[in-house]
Amino acid sequence: MSQTTATVVAQVSQQDMFKHVLNDPLLGSSIYVNIALAGLTLLLFVYMARSLTDPRAKLIVVSVMGVSAVSIASYTGLASGLTIGILEMPEGHAMYETTTELAHSGEEVDGTVSLWGRYLTWAFSTPFILLALGLIAGSNLTKIFTAIVFDIGIMITGLAAALTTSSYPMRWAWYGISVTFFLVVVYILLFEWPEDARQAGTADIFNTLKILTVVLWFGYTIWWALGNEGLAVIESVGLTSWGYSAFDIVAKYLFSFLVVKYVVDNVEKVSAGSDYGATSSAI
Ligand code: RET
């Protein structure tokens, strides 16, 4: 192709990414649907929990509301083009030397689309999921802290995997570190908290939430490996994004709904008693 007909552009602006999302129906819908759902669930949870007075019950509800609140910010970051970009994958990657056609201009740019803001904001949203789970299980501060610290570790090293463009093996090295952290969280979910929940009398709901969480969180992990940033078995950016969005609908909104419903119906099981919050040592 001659210089004049070739439309490969080197630089992609934030505005380009904003317009690309807006003009790609599959990618765009995977983002906009979630902003709407996050907003609606926030309102729904405020309504469902309107008559709660117990501070510990409220803490659990506020925690899952935090998930929806962070989601609004997270998906707005993607929709606005702030936390999404085109990355050129290193040699060895299935997307090496691939080009992306910008949906609004038809221009070709070197690289594949990365929705890296997702991984960044998971570091802020998923701790709320674990806090809610740990509180429902009646677990102690040490275990809750451990789960949350390793969870943040998963997301930040997952972000590093997504953003590393220097070397293909290094992308998977980050992925390996992330999965190792993930196994710590899985251990707590499968072997520590079920026993705590049994003692707290919340084993029924905890086990439902545990299965939902473990299965879906493995889903995210496998999806990353299959998607356009991993092995690219799924090459489509829109489809990769919709996979995460679909997991989100269950792992965040359905999960949170089950939590709020349980807390509202079983305040006595999650309450720490009337002394809770009366002294500064209450946790
Ligand atoms: C990544 C890739 C690196 C390896 C692992 C991952 C796991 C991600 C998980 C995400 C869960 C997200 C949720 C979001 C809700 O807001 C980062 C995909 C282990 C478990 C529940």
Q: Render pLDDT for 47-86 as a digit per residue (tens, 0 to 9).
A: 999 999 999 999 999 999 999 999 999 999 999 999 999 9
Lowest mean pLDDT segment, chosen from 94-108, 164-178, 264-278: 264-278
Ligand 1 pocket, Cβ-based, cut-off 6 angstroms? 67, 119, 122, 125-126, 154-155, 158, 161, 175, 178-179, 182, 217, 220-221, 224, 248, 251-252
Average of per-residue pLDDT across 256-272: 95
Report all structural domains of the chain as residue ranges with CATH numbers, in order of start.
11-270 (1.20.1070.10)
Give residue 274's pLDDT band: very low, low, confident or very high (50, 70, 90): confident
Contact criterion met (CB below 8 Å) for 212 and 255: yes
> In angstroms, rounded to a whole number, what is the distance separating the alpha carbons of residues 89 and 92?
8
Return the pLDDT at 4.
47
Work out which ligand 1 atom sits closest to the CA atom of 119: 17
Residue 9 has pLDDT above 90, yes or no: no
Question: What one-character DSSP code corresponds to residue 139?
Answer: -
Mean pLDDT, the chain, integer: 93
Average of per-residue pLDDT across 182-208: 97
Return the pLDDT at 2.
43
Going by CA atoms, what residue is nearest to atom 3 of ligand 1? Answer: 158
Average of per-residue pLDDT across 166-186: 98
Give residues with Cβ within 8 angstroms of 31, minimum separation 6: 21, 75, 78, 79, 241, 245
- 113 forms beta bridges with 86
Going by CA atoms, what residue is nearest to atom 7 of ligand 1? Answer: 221
Which tokens go with 119? 């991984």
**Who wins on pLDDT, 11 or 93?**
93
Average of per-residue pLDDT across 14-19: 96
Return the pLDDT at 6.
52
Return the pLDDT at 158.
98
> In angstroms, rounded to a whole number, what is the distance separating the alpha carbons of residues 244 and 175?
17
% residues pLDDT > 90 (the chain): 91
Q: String of b and e for 222-235 (b: at least 16 CB within 10 Å)?
A: ebbeebbbbebebe
Residue 282 has pLDDT above 60, yes or no: no
Q: Which amino acid is at 190?
A: L
